[in-house]
Chains A and B, each alone.
Chain A
């Protein structure tokens, strides 16, 4: 073994390291105790600054020490000249830089840096930006640095276009970066806002016609820039279709208009002396000044949501004082004022009519396009083409499939119904972990389509049997429906929202897996309920039916509940009004 370099053995090295660590720990604990003692005594001096610096440089996550440090600095600020304060804080920044090298993701260090930068008498923002750039070049997803950088940009007023170029650069070097894409989405509307004049004839109503359109376009980007963005993001998802950051940005680009809050429907029933009001979004009407004027006279009424579960609801109900509108020979004019939004809606109840309503005729545009809405169909068309092109190359790509589905919805929900369904089938196969999500989404789209068909046919019958529905939604749109058929689906419950079907007379929901009837709550006109072959198992599940005064027919065949002893008599006792009971 001669001639070799002699090395310490592993055990020796370990031992040395252990001793070293022990020594360090001793010093650390001693300084910590010294610092706490000083703080207890309220000492705010340079020595304390030094001690905390020692500790923080080895452990920058010790938040208490940063707090103490700030106390000291604030105190020193009051007793020193401005130049000295500047120097003091500059030294602090330098120290912080060394801390960030130890741990570039330390909450304490970044927060303290923000605090110091804001207090610096003569801040050097260019230097701070440089620091952020260096940090982000090492880890472009360090959100601490992103946060700090946003603060620096705000404080120093960096021009927006410069920031957009910054995101260009970061996306160019690695486009799997949510922070960059998101930052872009906040900059674009500032830099390239949508032109103020009506962009296209089809949307003129939203700006000129008296009833405000259900769509608003805030945060929109001008079309020229949008086209550039489409190109950019397509480059990303064609390069790597499995990277979701680009797809999310794409969804944002394709539109995110929100429906404006407004009264979408007023319904009045003479017999029940009841008024129901539907809104475009869930609201809390009991607190937001909803006022009913009947024949010029403001009425003192109590508004309630359709189900006690909801403080916010798209449908609100009130009962009129008995006898107010019950005489069929009278004509009445109602106005519902919504003072919070300075809007109102009228409804006339003519002589001889037992009910009346006033509503917008719903079209697909207004109802369901809010999630993807771009001005021009042509743009959507060409985006759909691109995605189809990608799908040809990547038939299994879930992001592509889902985006295609959304584009088809935005373009022509009924026309693309069959393709949409088959894409959903593929989605459930390629992404089986989320098959329930796709099932729900598909149910939602099927319901939307059925609502559209119903609107076009101007009927009050809603039939959605055998569509693999896993959930119910958009029930506020069904306020006027009298007959509903939900048979042969995969429903587990009739949710509380079901109580929005204020006009419902006949419910068919055979052959589902329903075990819960929360939604059958105070439905004033409900007469027939058919729930054959479901999973209702307890008598108490049927308790709520007692709130439906007109219920006469109930079919419970094929439910576990029918196995209960004495069920017949129990039910007769529970629901005396039901004359036609099948079990």
Chain B
């Protein structure tokens, strides 16, 4: 993700960008797959049991399996978002009696997508802001998550978070409604009322909640489903998380979250498209073998790809999965469940589950590597629900690359572009035209018009050692 954002940002302000990814799909670890696509992905990683991911799947054909108890441990608490972009559960709605089987999932595998990383877009998060600011939003369609559910006392319940939800909630008493609204209203501008929480600045958010006359019910909702923090975080952090959630409400609907219609993998792909529209070149299934360093300056002046071709560059951006040494892993678990609303008292039945680890490099600091000064490092997905960290990182790298340029200014409307014959680069073609293909290898198409195939997006690169992945390596003089 951050690689593609950097690529787009550089390309937008006129840098030449070559983006290579050793995979045959875009978005790398941020990708989304159809079910069948995911199965192939698993096959691939089983073989390689590669550097950053090993996958294991459990499947119980036809038979029922109880929810493994790890379910709760794996992914940050008991909270679940509604399965995004997955029409399949919805199918069961008209005829709840009809059992969904594994065979059916395989058969209908193209009707829903599964994201490799569980992220949603906060309506007022930096990703959404960036999509709007840069006009990249026009390359994808988005939906608002319709409701937020929580798992509590063995039941899946809807979390009342917006005003309308609180009003309509059947589980809360009127007094609870008032207390919840009162607390949430306070959180919205808690900085204005320091007297309310000052005494708790040294205490945990959980302790703070205990003092707010909130019933157990409400404490659960606020902690796990609204602030979405662990009980131990400090009060201010909990308040800030709550505030962020609330500020995102109502912008696009009654929940704070958006998701791209075809999965998170759309997003890096959109930025790749932006990059390509402004002249960036994409190569999939292509890696960089090594860097060429300038003896005197110690800078990277070129890369050599796997075909032995030398490509000069002034900067090189790589995802640190390729050079990294992080020992942290995120464990992901994907389950395919029947519709949350209607499982029987015994709880939902797992039809299929996938476990895999992904290296978490989000916390790794660039300074821990000994790298040439014009080699920049990007991170893989982090554990947070939003993408703010990635966007911040992308902007930081961009600032290092081009300190004097604006970060992702709005893309102009087609009618405002002046066409005066071919520019020196042949760049700036209309939006629907293909990007110039000079350097692109056979494989590298433009990122863009791939909607149909839905083979998600550009690689956020693992490929990286050089020039691989989606990293933009603005090339220019040697």
**Which A residues fall within an 8 A CB radius of B?**
1-8, 13, 172-175, 234-236, 238-241, 386, 389-390, 393-394
Contact of B177 among A1, A173, A238 (CB under 8 A): A238
Write out the residue numbers on chain A whose beta carbons fall within 8 Å of the beta carbon of B420: 6
**A1–B428 Cα gap in the complex (Å)?**
13
**Which B residues fall within an 8 A CB radius of A?**
13-16, 163-164, 166-168, 174-175, 177-179, 181-182, 278-279, 412, 416-418, 420, 423-425, 427-428
Write out the residue numbers on chain A whose beta carbons fall within 8 Å of the beta carbon of B412: 5, 7
Looking at A7, A172, A175, A238, the one whose CB has the most chain B CB atoms below 10 A away is A238
B164 near A393 with CB under 8 A, answer: no
Task: Tell me how far the C-beta of A140 lies from the nearest C-beta in chain B, rounded to whole angstroms.
Answer: 11
- Identify the closest chain A residue to B179 (Cβ): A393
B178 near A238 with CB under 8 A, answer: yes
Write out the residue numbers on chain B whose beta carbons fall within 8 Å of the beta carbon of A4: 13-14, 427-428
- Identify the closest chain B residue to A176 (Cβ): B163
Write out the residue numbers on chain B whose beta carbons fall within 8 Å of the beta carbon of A239: 163, 166-167, 177-178, 181
Task: Tell me how far the C-beta of B309 lies from the nearest C-beta in chain A, rounded to whole angstroms.
Answer: 22
**A8–B164 Cα gap in the complex (Å)?**
46
8 A-B pairs whose Cβ atoms sit less than 8 Å apart in the complex: A2-B424, A7-B412, A8-B416, A8-B418, A13-B416, A173-B164, A175-B164, A239-B163
Contact of B417 among A3, A5, A172, A173 (CB under 8 A): A5
- Identify the closest chain A residue to B169 (Cβ): A235
A3 near B182 with CB under 8 A, answer: no
**A5–B414 Cα gap in the complex (Å)?**
11
Other A-B contacts than A3-B15, A235-B174, A389-B175, 7 sampled, CB-CB below 8 A, are A3-B16, A3-B279, A4-B14, A13-B416, A174-B163, A238-B174, A393-B178
Task: Tell me how far the C-beta of A377 lies from the nearest C-beta in chain B, rounded to whole angstroms.
Answer: 22
| Known contacts A13-B416, A172-B168, A175-B164; A3 and B178 CB within 8 A of each other | no
- Identify the closest chain B residue to A234 (Cβ): B174
Task: Tell me how far the C-beta of A513 lies from the nearest C-beta in chain B, rounded to whole angstroms.
Answer: 42
**A3–B279 Cα gap in the complex (Å)?**
9
A235 near B14 with CB under 8 A, answer: no
Task: Tell me how far the C-beta of B434 lies from the nearest C-beta in chain A, rounded to whole angstroms.
Answer: 16
Contact of B167 among A2, A5, A7, A235 (CB under 8 A): A235
**A393–B14 Cα gap in the complex (Å)?**
59
**A8–B419 Cα gap in the complex (Å)?**
10
| Known contacts A6-B417, A172-B168, A173-B164; A241 and B428 CB within 8 A of each other | no
**A236–B169 Cα gap in the complex (Å)?**
11
Write out the residue numbers on chain A whose beta carbons fall within 8 Å of the beta carbon of B14: 1-5
Contact of B178 among A2, A172, A390 (CB under 8 A): A390
- Identify the closest chain B residue to A243 (Cβ): B163
Write out the residue numbers on chain B whose beta carbons fall within 8 Å of the beta carbon of A240: 163, 167, 181
- Identify the closest chain A residue to B476 (Cβ): A3
Smallest CB-CB A-B distances: 8 pairs: A5-B428, A3-B14, A4-B14, A238-B174, A6-B418, A239-B167, A238-B178, A238-B177
Write out the residue numbers on chain A whose beta carbons fall within 8 Å of the beta carbon of B182: 393-394
**A241–B14 Cα gap in the complex (Å)?**
55
Task: Tell me how far the C-beta of A11 lies from the nearest C-beta in chain B, rounded to whole angstroms.
Answer: 12
B417 near A7 with CB under 8 A, answer: yes
A235 near B177 with CB under 8 A, answer: yes
A2 near B164 with CB under 8 A, answer: no
- Identify the closest chain A residue to B174 (Cβ): A238
Task: Tell me how far the C-beta of A394 lies from the nearest C-beta in chain B, rounded to whole angstroms.
Answer: 7
| Known contacts A3-B15, A3-B423; A393 and B177 CB within 8 A of each other | no
Task: Tell me how far the C-beta of B193 lies from the nearest C-beta in chain A, rounded to whole angstroms.
Answer: 15
Contact of B175 among A236, A238, A241 (CB under 8 A): A238
**A5–B412 Cα gap in the complex (Å)?**
9
Task: Tell me how far the C-beta of B55 lies from the nearest C-beta in chain A, rounded to whole angstroms.
Answer: 42
**A2–B279 Cα gap in the complex (Å)?**
12
Write out the residue numbers on chain B whose beta carbons fall within 8 Å of the beta carbon of A172: 164, 167-168
- Identify the closest chain B residue to A386 (Cβ): B174
Write out the residue numbers on chain B whose beta carbons fall within 8 Å of the beta carbon of A234: 174
**A386–B15 Cα gap in the complex (Å)?**
66
Write out the residue numbers on chain B whose beta carbons fall within 8 Å of the beta carbon of A386: 174
**A6–B175 Cα gap in the complex (Å)?**
61
Write out the residue numbers on chain A whose beta carbons fall within 8 Å of the beta carbon of B164: 172-175
- Identify the closest chain B residue to A10 (Cβ): B416
Task: Tell me how far the C-beta of A398 lies from the nearest C-beta in chain B, rounded to whole angstroms.
Answer: 16
Write out the residue numbers on chain A whose beta carbons fall within 8 Å of the beta carbon of B15: 3
Task: Tell me how far the C-beta of B231 lies from the nearest C-beta in chain A, rounded to whole angstroms.
Answer: 26
Write out the residue numbers on chain B whose beta carbons fall within 8 Å of the beta carbon of A394: 178, 182
**A335–B83 Cα gap in the complex (Å)?**
81
**A315–B39 Cα gap in the complex (Å)?**
90
Write out the residue numbers on chain A whose beta carbons fall within 8 Å of the beta carbon of B16: 3
Write out the residue numbers on chain A whose beta carbons fall within 8 Å of the beta carbon of B167: 172, 175, 235-236, 239-240
Write out the residue numbers on chain B whose beta carbons fall within 8 Å of the beta carbon of A1: 14
Task: Tell me how far the C-beta of A287 lies from the nearest C-beta in chain B, rounded to whole angstroms.
Answer: 50
**A5–B163 Cα gap in the complex (Å)?**
46
Task: Tell me how far the C-beta of B169 lies from the nearest C-beta in chain A, rounded to whole angstroms.
Answer: 8
**A459–B96 Cα gap in the complex (Å)?**
75
| Known contacts A173-B164, A235-B174; A7 and B418 CB within 8 A of each other | yes
Contact of B425 among A3, A235, A393 (CB under 8 A): A3
Write out the residue numbers on chain A whose beta carbons fall within 8 Å of the beta carbon of B427: 3-5
Write out the residue numbers on chain A whose beta carbons fall within 8 Å of the beta carbon of B425: 2-3
Write out the residue numbers on chain A whose beta carbons fall within 8 Å of the beta carbon of B177: 235, 238-239
**A570–B6 Cα gap in the complex (Å)?**
96
Task: Tell me how far the C-beta of A155 lies from the nearest C-beta in chain B, rounded to whole angstroms.
Answer: 31
Write out the residue numbers on chain A whose beta carbons fall within 8 Å of the beta carbon of B279: 3
Task: Tell me how far the C-beta of A217 lies from the nearest C-beta in chain B, rounded to whole angstroms.
Answer: 28
**A239–B166 Cα gap in the complex (Å)?**
7
Task: Tell me how far the C-beta of A290 lies from the nearest C-beta in chain B, rounded to whole angstroms.
Answer: 52
Write out the residue numbers on chain B whose beta carbons fall within 8 Å of the beta carbon of A7: 412, 416-418
Task: Tell me how far the C-beta of A373 lies from the nearest C-beta in chain B, rounded to whole angstroms.
Answer: 24
**A174–B253 Cα gap in the complex (Å)?**
12
Write out the residue numbers on chain B whose beta carbons fall within 8 Å of the beta carbon of A8: 416-418
Looking at B14, B16, B174, B420, the one whose CB has the most chain A CB atoms below 10 A away is B174
Task: Tell me how far the C-beta of A388 lies from the nearest C-beta in chain B, rounded to whole angstroms.
Answer: 12
**A236–B416 Cα gap in the complex (Å)?**
49
**A239–B178 Cα gap in the complex (Å)?**
5
**A238–B14 Cα gap in the complex (Å)?**
56
**A5–B179 Cα gap in the complex (Å)?**
55
Write out the residue numbers on chain B whose beta carbons fall within 8 Å of the beta carbon of A174: 163-164
A393 near B175 with CB under 8 A, answer: yes
Write out the residue numbers on chain A whose beta carbons fall within 8 Å of the beta carbon of B417: 5-8
**A6–B421 Cα gap in the complex (Å)?**
11
**A240–B412 Cα gap in the complex (Å)?**
43
Looking at B14, B166, B416, the one whose CB has the most chain A CB atoms below 10 A away is B416
Task: Tell me how far the C-beta of B194 lies from the nearest C-beta in chain A, rounded to whole angstroms.
Answer: 20
Task: Tell me how far the C-beta of B123 lies from the nearest C-beta in chain A, rounded to whole angstroms.
Answer: 18
Looking at B13, B177, B417, B425, the one whose CB has the most chain A CB atoms below 10 A away is B177
A6 near B163 with CB under 8 A, answer: no
| Known contacts A1-B14, A238-B174; A6 and B428 CB within 8 A of each other | yes
**A96–B425 Cα gap in the complex (Å)?**
49
**A5–B425 Cα gap in the complex (Å)?**
10
Write out the residue numbers on chain A whose beta carbons fall within 8 Å of the beta carbon of B278: 5
**A308–B174 Cα gap in the complex (Å)?**
53
